[in-house]
Each structure stands twice: as structure tokens, then as C-alpha cells.
Structure 1
């Protein structure tokens, strides 16, 4: 070829054969090898021109090589200036050699290197091309496969340990083993960076190695989309229930356009009730957003919040599931990618709060550190009272929203509060009415009304009313306030129609006579109401119903169509003649009785 190299040569590895240069392969084969990263991509005409003048090689050299090439070009230019002024080339070389302390033979070599090359392409020609001390040692392909398979493991073994294990295999097979540096150079030369990232560090490391998506909110407005998430503070706070030190959870909602934290609540755990209360605060204070980005955690993917959403994959979607808070209000739900902070801008706010709230001087001694290995010296020496910490967080969040000179997003030096307020004043905001606020304040669940008593059991409590008792055996939607389970509950059918309200049936003591009297009175009232309802039906008693029944119809005697005269002979005829006076007497008596009855009936009429 142009570099006087061989395009085919005997293979030195085990098994013999010949090796061919990739340039001899068909173009399709060269493209496939380049796609796999095994050879360089086929060059274009411009690239071949750059290679001809050496610019592609020159760009890959160190700064020192480029400085030397520039130094030589400057000297050659000085010689050409003297020649152009009328001096001979020999005199010019001698003068510059004495002035620059460079040998004349060296200068003549530089002049010959650029002879016939235009001034624009002289740098690569004058650059020093130092070569190593011979060709690189060959690595047996079998050993190379073993080595790179060992090195490309998630355990990330060192190159030295992989080399030593490969050397043992080479010794057993009687193969020559090049140096570890030879293996290292081939790794860098042949294995693409993404292959190393994926095999040794995993898919997440490969994802982080790619440019992240940058999303703009310039075309949005305030409260168009919000995102909600939970954050566990690295501070010991006394639980209001047990008094033991815990790390409280803050559930917060952030406006994506302005980055303002618009609603937040503290709770012992991340649960659906806390999420519901935070949304209720947002609806009451600012309005209903058009969309929401949230995690697929148990608190956010609860049926109370997102029930009925078709994109909800944490639980099985059933037709009888209750409609969730966001789904019922028509808020579009977008699920954030798991373990992906870039999907939720609120993560940046939590990092700021960790520094300014959890590490505040008022929390000294209660700060726990953000990991088991980052515990401060005074770890566990103090626990903050719950009410005190709630007030501290409220002040910290308000300070976070009001801090000026914000540069991210669309703030342009304004605070989050001001950015939100200016957009909120001109944005189409959907305000929540009383019915929607009640829906936000009440959670929903499906319950089966007791088939026998008509009561509804919920979290150990029983609820009953006359209207609800009539729904025995039916499945209904129950809306209630989780923070006040001793109040009434509201019952709806599956289509959302209101059916009635049921108060709680409180348990009583075994010897509580007053409670027994109240229960008896309730039972009596139910009995009276039931009797009144029966009277309202204007029912008839059994005698009246019987009297209204029609008389039984008289039997119909059929008339014969053919009459045959019966004749009596012998004793039969004599017997009939003997019975005739008796029959006449019976008929005369029946006639007298019938006439008497008719006379009585006529007199009554």
C-alpha cells in the first residue's frame, strides 16, 4: 500500500492461516466491521485528502509534537525570506544555522521535507515522527477472548489479576504470553467506551454517560403542571404518638414552571392520607392543576389518589375500583421514572432544604447525617419536639420560595414566589368549588354493606343509618375523613350518585346501662318507624281479603245429546213402582223448603 505495508501476511497465532487487511474486503463488510467497532469507518474523499497530507495524524499528536513542527516551520520560513531577498539558499541555511544553533544538515533535511508541498500543508510534513522499537507482540486470540471476558465483568476485577489468570492458561497450553502493557494497549484500542461501561458498571452507568435531556418550561404557565414527592429529613424528631425519635417525612408539591413549593405537610410515614391533605391544601390555596408528575410509590399510587387511571400499574386495575382524587378532578397523571431524579425537579429543592433546614443551627445535635457512614460526632444527642420542627420547616420552605437571585428555569434573577405570582396573575387557573374541596378532603374506598344488619365496617368502626340499611348486600363507594373516623361517612353508588350518610356506631362498656337504654330506644324508634311505614301502606286484614274473593263457581251438568228410554222388567219394574210414592213425597218437601227460603230473602231485601 501507500505506506509500503503488506496487505496479506501469514498468521503468527496458533493454527496458522493468513491475515488480510480490512481494505481488501467488500465495502459492505467494511461497514459492518466498522459498526461493530473492530475497524475504523471507511474514509470519504475529504478524509483521504487529509490523510494524504497527514493532517488526521497531526491532530492526534501531543502539544509537544505540534510545538516542534511549528518551530521547524518558522525556521524554514526564515530561510525562504532570505532567499527571496536575494541570498543563495546555501548562504541562507548557513546564516540561520549559526543564528538558531541548528546543524546545517538538519536544516537541509527540513527543506527537503517540504519540497513541493504548499505552505498550508507543511506542518504535518515537519512534525517529528518518532517510532517505537519494533512491532507489537501478537496475542493469541483464544487467550485474548479469555482475558477480555474475565475483565469485562460487573465485579470489575483489576487488569493485573485477569492477566495472571490468563497467563496460567497460556502456560498450561504452551502458548507465549505478551506483557500486561500489551493487553492494556489492546483493551484501549479495541474495546469501545460504551461496551466497557455497560459490562463493568451496568446499564445505569451507561445511561449517565450519555448527555441528559434538557427540558424547557418557557411555554408553560403557573399551575399548569406540578410534581409531588416525599422527602425524609435527616433529623431526629419526637413522634407525637409515641414520643420516640423518628425521621419525619415531608410530602411536598412543587409548581414545575416557577419551581415554587406550593403545598407541603409533615407526617410520620409517606401515606395516601398525607398526600390527600397536601393536594387539599393546594386546591384550597391556589386551584386545580392541569397535570401532575408523581412517583409510583404506595402513597402516590394509592386508589385514594389515582384510582381509575389507566396508566397506573402498581395494582391491578378493576372496574369496581373507586375513582381517585386526581382522576375524579380530571388531572392528567404522569408517572416519573423510578430512581430518576431528573424526572422530578422537586429533588433539587429537597437537596437545598437538606442544607438549609436539616443542617440549620437550630437542629444541631438532632442531625443524623445522610448515610450510616456520615454520622456527625454528636449523633443522637438530641431530638426536636414535633411542633417545633413543623414550625421550623414552614419557615424554611417560605424562605426557600422567597430567596431572590434564582437563575434556573424562567426565574431570571427573581424569586420563586415572584415568578409564580407574575404568571399566576395572567394564567387560566381552574379554581376548586366546595364540592371538589369536599372530594379532596375525603378519601374513597369500596365497601360491601352487611347482608344481615345493613351496617358498614371501616377500620374497626361500624356505620349505619336507615337509608344505608336498605342497601344490605350491595357494594358501595364510601368517602370519609381518615383523620376523623368517629364522624359520619358518605355513601355513593359505583356511578358516583349520593345515596346517604351513616353515622358511627360507637362501642359501649359491658355494664353501661345508659348505652343499653340508648340502644333499646333506637331499636324502639326503628320499630315505630317501621310500623308507621306499614300503616302508610293501607294494608287490608285477612278477613277483608277473603271477603273480596269471588264465590266458587257452580258445577256445570252436561246435557246428553241422545236420550234413551229405560224400560223396567221383572222385579226391577216392581221395585221402581214401589219407590214412586216415596220420591213424590221428597220432591214435594224440597219445593216447600225452597219457597220458604225465597220468602225470607225477599223480606230482607
Structure 2
């Protein structure tokens, strides 16, 4: 008994022993009653409590604790002290169970170690449940808890240290950061409520919001439009830091798919000849942010929070970041006819955010490297600015296709064919091209050589004819002329006059004969004999065949001398022997 309570303070140890005495007295009391009548344990507890200085709930609790945990279960754990005492082995086992991504509850882990303690007679000191929460707070650092229970990504986001950059090592306008964010408000779009998205680009050094675009959902078009706005005003950057999402990290921008880029990264490099997207065409280097890493795009992430605090919360239809922060009257607001009539649409919201970003860029910042200047002042302090040739930005910032193969009916893009009778594409059949287009007008594609990016042609969308419907005469004449023109272009590739008077058979035979005569005689190759069981038996076979032939001659069965026969073949060699070892089975 003393060994079990050796780590318990003396006063609590004495109290636990007194409680054990009460339990033993109760068991004796119950045994005496049961000699006279059948009674349940609960009824016995009620009778005992009436005649002794202990309440029924207290006695019942002591009985259960003693049954589950032995004498340690009777220790008063209130106020710390013994309650914070736990055997080292029990604590290590608890940590192993609780610090797991399956996220078992404290109660369940304690229950498990209590079972092991009882079933295997470990004799561990195990405190009550509330003490475990205090032990966790006191002995397991929050970073350790997050790492083991939530995973490495959560740990990196919340607790992992990150590399701090020197703001003065970056020139204003040198690096831009791009990302999407859904705004926490509702706007009207096409007669319904939606939560709009903002696509934004921010200069990393000056924190200037260089460009943005508002739309119902983020996509490649919103990135293009936001990027175009930024370049028109500030010129292109030298480098961009972008998300790993499918919109920013797409073949339109990088010139290669994410899977291919990952394969190249595994080899330790990215082949710049393969990365021929929009960034590369403007000589912009690309840096991909680590997925789910807020430090990767920190300044822009913080600006989205600032936008929410200073602007979005002032919108009447603000909905909060989550259900906990959602205004209670939001449903009534969205159902109000007057609010529906006066609510922001995407265009009006875009105008308001444009005004806000202008104010933000002219507001003094005291953050790292800002030195009390505004973002606009910092970006205006750059020594040089990159520029594009006039008109180039409109050509570059379109939607670009992956590589397409030219077929009989032109190129197939987004389930639509283009350039069916285009003479330039007819000459490119079987070759790879790229296409660029205006997202608002898919009636035509600009076709470029996939390798050199040279403009080949502008291909119109193919004209389709309804199955089983009469074809207009004008359309039929156009199609027939186009087919004839295509065939004529193909025929014109050959000048038949050059071979009109040529005997092709004679020419071919002479050329083949000349090519055969020019071939050098091959030197004899080294011969490698192969031994077989028939080695040395060839002459014997010939002799026996000759003898058989002579004896089969009509009326000559007994003749031993025959004229005109090579008798040397009938002569048996005296010393010709067969190597019987060759006939042995390998087994």
C-alpha cells in the first residue's frame, strides 16, 4: 500500500487510506445484510449512507474509482499536487497515443492507459481526467502538439521559423506577387447573389497594388486582365512569385504543364527552352510559392486581410469570413428588395476597390523597409523601368493554347475546329502549332509555330452543316471551291515537267546497280565451330548409303565388285571413332 502511494503527499495519502477503510466497512455491512435478504449493491449503498457519515453519491464514486484504479483512485486530486503526479511510463504511453494525427481525445487516451494499468497490473499512478489537460498545457509545447496532431503543413504555417528577407536587397518593381482571394461580401450578378473574387498583383518591395481584377470566379482570364492592368501602368517586373494553383501555374503562363515541371524539378533543373509561356516571352523569371505556406506570399496575404478590415466590412452585404463571424441579420439583408435594387454589381465594386487601392498606395506605411513612406513613393524611387514595344502587350496577354496538331480540318481547340480550308494550315498538316485567342471572341484563332512563335495565319472557326438538312447552294459552292483550292495547293508542290521524259524503271535499276557495285566486300568473320553428336559420322553415312544403293540394284545383291562406283566411299576407315560422350544425357 505504501509503495502505491509513495509519490502522494502525506495528507492525501492518509485521506485515501481512510476512504479505503470506509469501503471495507461497507463491504462487510453489505455481506451481513445479504445473509438475511437479497439486496442490490445500489440499495446497500443507500442503506449504508443513511447510518454513516458519508453521502450516497460520494460512496458510490469511491467504489467505482477503487474498482477501476485501486487505491490511487481514492486519492483526492483537487488543487493539483497529487493530481499532477503520473508515472513516467504512463505519461510516455499517453503522449504516444495523444500526439497522433488521428487526434484521439484526452479522455480516450487516459481510458486506454487506465485499462492497461489495471489489466497488466502495472501499478502506475494515473491522475483524474482534468489533471491530464493541465499536464498537456504544462509539458507539451503548442508547436509539438500541432506538428504531431495536425501535420507538418499546419506546423509550418503556425510555428516553423522562416527565412527573413532584407527589403533593401529587392529593387522596387523587381518582383511581383500574384494570388486570388474571395471577398467576404455579396454582390448582384445576372440577377443573383454571388461572392466575388479578386485577382491581385502586388510589388513585393514597395507593397504597391499594381493591378487587380474582380470577377465571379478566378481563372486565367482574370489573371491576364489583372496582369495587363499592372503592366500598362508600371511596366513588366523581372520576376513573379505565384501560387501553385492551376490558374497561375498553367501552361498558358509557364509554357509547360505542372506535371512536366515537377518532373524537371526532380532532376534538379527546369529547361528554359521548354518553359516558353507568357512569362518567358517577356523575359520574366518565375518563382513558385510553397503550397499552403503563408510566408510564400506574405505581403499580399496581409493586404487581403487589410482589404477585408478597411473596405469589405463597410459593404452592407458583408458576410464574414466564416459562420462564426456571419452577421445574424444577413439573410434579412439579402432578401430586402431595396438592398437588392441598390446592391453593388461587379463593375461598381471594381470601381470602388480601384479607388480604395489608390488611397492604399498613397497611405504612409511603417512596416519593414517602408521608413514612413507610401507604397507609391517607394515604387517611384526605382532607378529604371522595363518597357514593352508598343502593341506587344495586347498580343502577349491573350489566352494561349497548349501545343496543337494540325489535321485534315485544321486545328481542334476546345472541341471546335478552326482553319478547315486555310491554305497556310494545309501546308502544316501533322505539325505542332500554338493558338492564341481573345476570351471574348472565339470566332478565330491566331496560329503560331510551336517552336519559334512565328505567326502562321489567322484561322476562322469551321462552318458546320446540320446532319440531314439541305445545304445552301452558296455554302456548297464555297466548300467545293475551297476543297479544289486545297487540292491544287497540294498538287503544286510537285513540278511534273521535271520527270515527264524520264524512264523511271531504267533510272532506278541503274542507280541500284551502281549502289551495289560500290559496296566493299566484307572481310571474312571469325568462325566458331560447334560440336554435335554427328561429328565424324558424315563419311560413314555416305559409305552406308552407297552400299545400300549397290545392293538394291536388280540382280546384284551378291555382287561385291561394281564398276563405275567410287569404291573409296565403301572403304571404312580403320581408325574412325565416334565419341560416345556426346550422346550422354545432360541430366
Using the alignment, how far apart are the partners of 1:409 and 1:152 within structure 2? 37
1:407 deviates by: 0.8
Which residue is 2:321 aligned to?
370
Which residue is 2:358 aligned to?
398
Tell me the SS of whatever aligns to 2:481.
helix
Tell me the SS of whatever aligns to 1:486.
strand
Which residue is 1:353 aligned to?
307
Q: 2:412 aligns with which of 457, 478, 495?
A: 457
1:299 deviates by: 0.2
Decide whether the 8 Å contact of 1:228 with 1:252 is kept in 2. Answer: yes
Determine if the alignment matches structure 1 residue 283 to structure 2 residue 257: no
Q: 1:486 aligns with which of 433, 443, 463?
A: 443
Determine if the alignment matches structure 1 residue 527 to structure 2 residue 481: no
1:420 deviates by: 1.4
1:25-51 CA deviation, whole Å, 9 max, x = no partner?
A: xxxxxxxxxxxxxxxxxxxxxxxxxxx
Using the alignment, how far apart are the partners of 2:473 and 2:395 within structure 1? 35
Determine if the alignment matches structure 1 residue 234 to structure 2 residue 181: no
Determine if the alignment matches structure 1 residue 327 to structure 2 residue 280: yes
Decide whether the 8 Å contact of 2:185 with 2:318 is kept in 1. Answer: yes
Tell me the SS of whatever aligns to 1:300.
coil
Using the alignment, how far apart are the partners of 1:548 and 1:214 within structure 2? 77
Decide whether the 8 Å contact of 2:181 with 2:304 is kept in 1. Answer: yes
Tell me the SS of whatever aligns to 1:445.
coil
Using the alignment, how far apart are the partners of 2:465 and 2:91 within structure 1? 81
Determine if the alignment matches structure 1 residue 337 to structure 2 residue 294: no
1:286-325 CA deviation, whole Å, 9 max, x = no partner?
A: 2221111000001001100112489974689999978211
Aligned length: 410
Question: 1:193-272 to 2 correspondence within 5 Å?
Answer: 195-200=144-149, 202-204=151-153, 206-207=155-156, 208-240=158-190, 243-272=191-220
Which residue is 1:415 aligned to?
374
Which residue is 1:447 aligned to?
404
Determine if the alignment matches structure 1 residue 438 to structure 2 residue 363: no
Tell me the SS of whatever aligns to 1:485.
strand
Question: 1:106-121 to 2 correspondence within 5 Å?
Answer: none
Using the alignment, how far apart are the partners of 2:150 and 2:492 within structure 1? 82
**Cα 1:537–1:314 shift into 2, 3 Å:** closer
**Cα 1:354–1:501 shift into 2, 3 Å:** same
1:154 deviates by: 4.7
**Cα 1:313–1:357 shift into 2, 3 Å:** farther
Using the alignment, how far apart are the partners of 1:166 and 1:511 within structure 2? 78
Which residue is 1:470 aligned to?
427
Tell me the SS of whatever aligns to 2:248.
coil
1:350 deviates by: 0.7
Decide whether the 8 Å contact of 1:329 with 1:436 is kept in 2. Answer: no
Using the alignment, how far apart are the partners of 2:377 and 2:286 within structure 1? 27
Using the alignment, how far apart are the partners of 1:541 and 1:432 within structure 2? 48
Which residue is 1:152 aligned to?
99
In our comparison, the structure showing a higher alpha carbon Rg is: 1
Using the alignment, how far apart are the partners of 2:110 and 2:494 within structure 1? 98
Question: 1:497-508 to 2 correspondence within 5 Å?
Answer: 497-507=454-464
1:506 deviates by: 4.2
Using the alignment, how far apart are the partners of 1:527 and 1:221 within structure 2? 60
Decide whether the 8 Å contact of 2:224 with 2:397 is kept in 1. Answer: yes
**Cα 1:287–1:526 shift into 2, 3 Å:** same
Tell me the SS of whatever aligns to 2:222.
helix
Using the alignment, how far apart are the partners of 1:447 and 1:281 within structure 2? 29
Using the alignment, how far apart are the partners of 2:428 and 2:206 within structure 1? 49
1:88-123 CA deviation, whole Å, 9 max, x = no partner?
A: xxxxxxxxxxxxxxxxxxxxxxxxxxxxxxxxxxxx
Using the alignment, how far apart are the partners of 1:227 and 1:252 within structure 2? 8
Decide whether the 8 Å contact of 2:249 with 2:258 is kept in 1. Answer: no
Instruction: With the length of structure 2 as denominator, give the TM-score of the two structures.
Output: 0.59
Using the alignment, how far apart are the partners of 2:417 and 2:257 within structure 1? 30
Tell me the SS of whatever aligns to 2:323.
coil
Using the alignment, how far apart are the partners of 1:310 and 1:160 within structure 2? 45
**Cα 1:537–1:359 shift into 2, 3 Å:** same
Instruction: With the length of structure 1 as denominator, give the TM-score of the two structures.
Output: 0.57
Decide whether the 8 Å contact of 1:252 with 1:261 is kept in 2. Answer: yes
Determine if the alignment matches structure 1 residue 166 to structure 2 residue 113: yes
Question: 1:77-156 to 2 correspondence within 5 Å?
Answer: 142-154=89-101
1:256-300 CA deviation, whole Å, 9 max, x = no partner?
A: 110001011122222122212222333332222111100000100
**Cα 1:414–1:442 shift into 2, 3 Å:** same
Which residue is 2:245 aligned to?
297
